[in-house]
Amino acid sequence: MQAQKTPLLVLLGPTAVGKTALSLQLAERLGTEIISGDSMLVYRGFDIGSAKPSPEECARVPHHLVDVLDADAPFSVTEFVARVSELARDFDAAGRLPFVVGGTGLYVKALVEGYDFNVTQEHTCFRHAMAGIAARRGNARVHHFLARRDPAAAERIHANNLRRVIRALEVTRYGDESISRACAMEHGTMPYDAHVIGLMRERSHLYARINERVEAMFAAGLCAEVQQLLDSGVRRDAPAMKGIGYKETAAYLAGEITRAEAITAVQTATRHFAKRQLTWYRGMPYIRWYDADAWTEPELLERILMDIKEWRAKGEAKDDGQDHQSAG
């Protein structure tokens, strides 16, 4: 008999579409908390440029996977799926509906579709080989390999942090993510009873919202935030500092471009990012789309809540059917 699946509610959509406001309302009405599905929100101190929920919003609804890593720590889709899977189990055990909100298409797709992240034999052999060299000839020898392949990473990672040195070498050799193309969905099953909500707007309206958001970020002190990060020792080549908004602002602060050029560059990069997000979403046919331009906010909220109620009723009926089969 097939085990009962954990329910999973997901709200996604391109950047600046209006996910934050809707997610807070949904979480409050559903009596649950929010799990961030945004790869930039994990970094501490990167607040304005990532459109991180404010302290007031986090007090209103608790958020998970926000402010959990330092700027120089890598964060991968593999780690995201592992962390969310654990949180989903905890939510479900506590009687709360797991609720993921975010726009990082690969992360959400991997979670919902059940991507296989088993490390290949080749990766394992490579790690063992590097560890063997370190044991025989010292950590500095392996660090030297990294310095030749990725000088910036070698400068950032101390030779004695062997695990991270080997991981960085692995990235240079195989790429950041080596995901098996096999996923649960391809075998006719998915790991969760997932209900995926997609929020959309007319393209020109979305782009106008993006441009306004970027201007608001600079007005809210993005330059001061980036300067403070740099002054605290965060390097320009740190993973978090490569995010949209941060690399351009750092370039402005270094005198490489003007403030106006930085704003324009961030707006352009964000629009391109939104376009890439929409491309990702086209490969996710199970998304239930809602046009935020076609409804008032209260109408949209009630429409989505009605559909969630219907989804949960179907899930509960299916669970009851399985329970009766077990009893029989």
What single DSSP character describes residue 99? Answer: E
> What's the pLDDT at 32?
98
Contacts of 13 by beta carbon, 8 Å cutoff, 6+ apart: 19, 103, 198, 199, 200, 277
CB neighbour class for 236 (10 Å; exposed up to 12, middle 13-18, buried from 19): middle
3-state secondary structure of 251: helix
Contact 270, 40 (CB under 8 A): no
Retrieve residue 100's tokens: 């993921």
DSSP string, 178-199: ---S-BGGGGT--SEEEEEEEE
Residues of the chain with pLDDT under 70: 1-3, 116-123, 174-188, 319-328
Neighbouring CB atoms inside 10 A of 125's CB total: 10
Q: What is the dihedral of CA 106, 37, 32, 306, to 10 degrees?
A: -50
Q: pTM for the whole thing?
A: 0.79
Q: How far apart are CA 90 and CA 21, in angstroms?
A: 25
Q: Going by CATH, does the domain composed of 6-117+179-327 fall within 3.40.30.10?
A: no
What single DSSP character describes residue 36? Answer: E
Residues of the chain with CATH 1.10.20.140: 121-174
34-36 and 288-291 beta bridge pairing: unpaired
Question: What are the angstrom distances between the C-alpha of 268 and each of 40, 208, 218, 261, 272?
Answer: 18, 11, 15, 10, 6
Residue-wise pLDDT tens digits, 17-50: 999 999 999 999 999 999 999 999 999 999 999 9
> What's the pLDDT at 64?
98
In the block, tokens 């707007």 appear at: 201
Enclosing H/E stretch for 8: strand 6-12
Neighbouring CB atoms inside 10 A of 3's CB total: 6
Contact 244, 273 (CB under 8 A): yes
Residues of the chain with CATH 3.40.50.300: 6-117+179-327
Contact 174, 195 (CB under 8 A): no
> What's the pLDDT at 190?
85
Contacts of 286 by beta carbon, 8 Å cutoff, 6+ apart: 112, 194, 196
What single DSSP character describes residue 53? Answer: P
Enclosing H/E stretch for 290: strand 288-291
Contact 184, 114 (CB under 8 A): yes
What is the topology classification, in CATH, of domain 121-174? Histone, subunit A (1.10.20)
3-state secondary structure of 248: helix
3-state secondary structure of 12: strand
Q: How far apart are CA 83 and CA 100, in angstroms?
A: 12
